[in-house]
Amino acid sequence: MSELRSQQASTSFVLVNLAYVEAAEYFTEPVNREPPSREAQILTLKNTPEFDILVIGGGATGSGCALDAVTRGLKTALVERDDFSSGTSSRSTKLIHGGVRYLQKAIMKLDIEQYRMVKEALHERANLLEIAPHLSAPLPIMLPIYKWWQLPYYWVGIKLYDLVAGSNCLKSSYVLSKSRALEHFPMLQKDKLVGAIVYYDGQHNDARMNLAIALTAARYGAATANYMEVVNLLKKTDPQTGKEHVSGARCKDVLTGQEFDVRAKCVINATGPFTDSVRKMDDKNAAAICQPSAGVHIVMPGYYSPESMGLLDPATSDGRVIFFLPWQKMTIAGTTDTPTDITQHPIPSEEDINFILNEVRNYLSCDVEVRRGDVLAAWSGIRPLVTDPKSEDTQSISRNHVVDISESGLITIAGGKWTTYRSMAEDTVNAAIKIHNLKAGPSRTVGLFLQGGKDWSPTLYIRLVQDYGLESEVAQHLAATYGDKAFEVAKMASVTGKRWPIVGVRLVSEFPYIEAEVKYGIKEYACTAVDMISRRTRLAFLNVQAAEEALPRIVELMGRELNWDDHKKEEELETAKKFLYYEMGYKSRSEQLTDRTEISLLPSDIDRYKKRFHKFDADQKGFITIVDVQRVLESINVQMDENTLHEILNEVDLNKNGQVELNEFLQLMSAIQKGRVSGSRLAILMKTAEENLERRVPIPVDRSCGGL
């Protein structure tokens, strides 16, 4: 019976279609055309007697370690407690950079360690742009100069940055006159502007890049599973020395609650901010080596920055550096650098959001009103900085990485930054091979294309338009997100029923994400609605309101694919809304309207807004409902479905009683005037309707004898 069970397990393992690379010299192409399903991966984790390497943590570094190990021919497993890139790796500034400010420190303090870090990062920047061209691209960044003496100072520093990059320099930096700087960045503060220096760094879609690394590792044979939590580390005693060695981990499938052991010759801890918690699983007396620092970013409308030019503020009011960058047709501003507690759900604070807004105001023209209401999303990421016990503030902590090896053989990779994930992984696997006597060749990840990158080209989207009848904007988005895998998404796209586009039903009208991406996202190991709105698509990071609007349809599509019952659908919807509310800044955004302070409007404004309100509240009830809005819209021949109207009113309905009172409407208009709220659909709708009604007033004709 046990023999039969053994044969069945063996057969199941073969069905998983995970053939491991025997030796590094035979490594050429991925062993799997597509990443195996999550169920297949879990089966592999259960049925493999012993892996060479088990990586804990599915961020950029952990996924990089898995890819580095499996492409050397090592039998590799990767487990992640949440989703791939669910932590810091999806909440970055979206830059692939060498670190201009680190080079400044290296020169000013003659710090060879900082110099080496910049040199390494610039090499990794070039490699990342090469291996994932669909997800990354060079970005010019402007450094505005407001004092003449700063021009030669910064010019020398930026030119040294080019020099250190050497053959990896993306494009040479250059100086712009005042007029040319304003031509490139017209919303820039003009007063006292001397000129500007422009240098180049890389920009990428961080969560999608992380996912591409994990999927590539899976294709090369690594058993990768998200929502797989490490409960505790396994240990065994060496009979020769009598010492205990880490020999794997007890894992728990977060989605099913099932637990099982994963055995491995070597365990790598790549858990970012949670590094010390895993180290304490190994040794409860282990000293903390990470100092967490919170970095907050905000997203604003695209009109705040040019489409292809970023901005760097090298010295803010408190000495921190702020970037102001175009990304996904929006504008990202950040980041802060504040000591923080470690949490799985970091929340952006109103204080940090306002700090960034104030710094942005300092650099933009007074013609541009920087409004709190224009913050469409905000998030906080926790940087796992390596601690220097003598340091008093997080800004002075080195971003270099540390490979730590415990007495029981647990290997920890800590510190570093997004750009250097590959070299960090290489150093970590090198240490694993040496310490645990693993048989493997050198690292093979330099120049190794990530999923979607190999057959991508800048004109690939044109084929998507021509072959499938997708909108050009949607096709460009698919090509830039999935690379050469975009055709697989296009094949899954639904027919629109329109003359054009033929296929590609959007999730929300103003963003190019389509319903087919939800189905494809499940193939990319998406298990929850949060995975879909934040990391498979980036809706939550771009506009929390748009993400909330898309949620019901996303949950419906995922439920159909994953066989969710009504209870599970409702649970997913509520969890995703909670995620948007706390972690993506919706709470801070909504509080701009729920603040119960006195309405500060001029008497003339109050009269004007009351008249507008009463055009909808024709029965003088003191409130308006969906029926009232529909009645006015019908009178001006405007059609709008009931669900959309419900969403519009719900934004302003503070007490959630299904109607908008006069006081709530006045509060909205007051918040809009103060700049705390912008883009209110109800306010815009009512203003437009009022203007249309006024245009329809009959023109008196009595003085022309009644007309014809």
Please state whether 242 falls in left (phi above 0), alpha (psi between -120 and 50) or beta.
left
DSSP state of 89: G
Residues 6+ apart with CB under 8 A from 79: 45, 54, 55, 56, 58, 224, 225, 228, 229, 230, 249, 251, 262
Instruction: State the span(s) of the chain assigned CATH 3.30.9.10.
Output: 134-204+292-384
DSSP string across 29-74: S-S-SSPPPHHHHHHHHHH-S-EEEEEE--SHHHHHHHHHHHTTT-
Report helix, strand or coil for 492.
Answer: coil
User: DSSP class of residue 535?
Assistant: I
CB of 63 closer than 8 Å to CB of 79: no
Which helix H or strand E contains 297, and what residues bound it? strand 290-300
Ordered DSSP codes for 155-208? HHHHHHHHHHHGGG-SS--EEEEHHHHHHHSTTB--TT--EEEEEEEEEE-HHH
**Whole-number pLDDT of residue 114:** 80
Q: CA neighbours within 13 Å on the CB side: how many for 41?
A: 29
- Cα torsion through 341, 342, 346, 350, rounded to 10: 10
Give span(s): CATH 3.50.50.60, the chain: 38-90+208-288+389-436
Q: Which of 204, 210, 24, 211 is closest to 126 using CA atoms?
A: 204
The one-letter code for the residue type at 345 is H
Q: Where in the chain is the domain with CATH 1.10.238.10?
A: 597-695
Low-confidence ranges of the chain (pLDDT < 50): 1-27, 388-391, 395, 699-708
What are 481's strand-pairing partners? none
Alpha-carbon span 442 to 319, nearest angstrom:
42
Distances (CA, A) of 159 to 103, 104, 570: 11, 12, 56
Query: Could you tell me the sign of the dihedral formed by the alpha carbons of 350, 354, 355, 356, in that order?
Result: positive
Beta bridge mates, 405:
411
Percent of the chain residues past pLDDT 70, beyond the cut: 89
- CATH of the domain spanning 38-90+208-288+389-436: 3.50.50.60
Per residue in 167-210, pLDDT tens?
999 999 999 999 999 999 999 999 999 999 999 999 999 999 99
Residues 6+ apart with CB under 8 A from 389: none
Q: Which CATH architecture has domain 459-590?
A: Orthogonal Bundle (1.10)
Find, among 428, 204, 426, the residue nearest to 332 by Cα. 204
Superfamily covering domain 134-204+292-384: D-Amino Acid Oxidase, subunit A, domain 2 (3.30.9.10)
How high is the pLDDT of residue 23?
36
Pairing of strands 51-56, 76-79: parallel
pLDDT digits (tens, 9 = 90+) for 470-514: 999 999 999 999 999 999 999 999 999 999 999 999 999 999 999
Q: Where in the chain is the domain with CATH 1.10.8.870?
A: 459-590
Kindly give the interhelix angle for 544-562 and 586-594, rounded to the nearest 10 degrees: 130
Give the predicted TM-score (pTM) of the model: 0.85
Q: What is the pLDDT of residue 344?
A: 92
Residue range 597-695 forms a domain whose CATH class is mainly alpha
Q: Please check whether residue 247 is in contact with residue 36, taking contact to mean a CB–CB distance below 8 angstroms.
A: no
In contact, 593 and 372? CB cutoff 8 Å? no
Q: Nearest-CA neighbor of 214 among 18, 368, 47, 70?
A: 70
Tell me phi and psi for residue 245, to 5 degrees. -130, 140
Return the SS3 of 254: coil
CA distance 645 to 685: 10
What integer pLDDT is reported at residue 5 of this predicted model?
A: 37
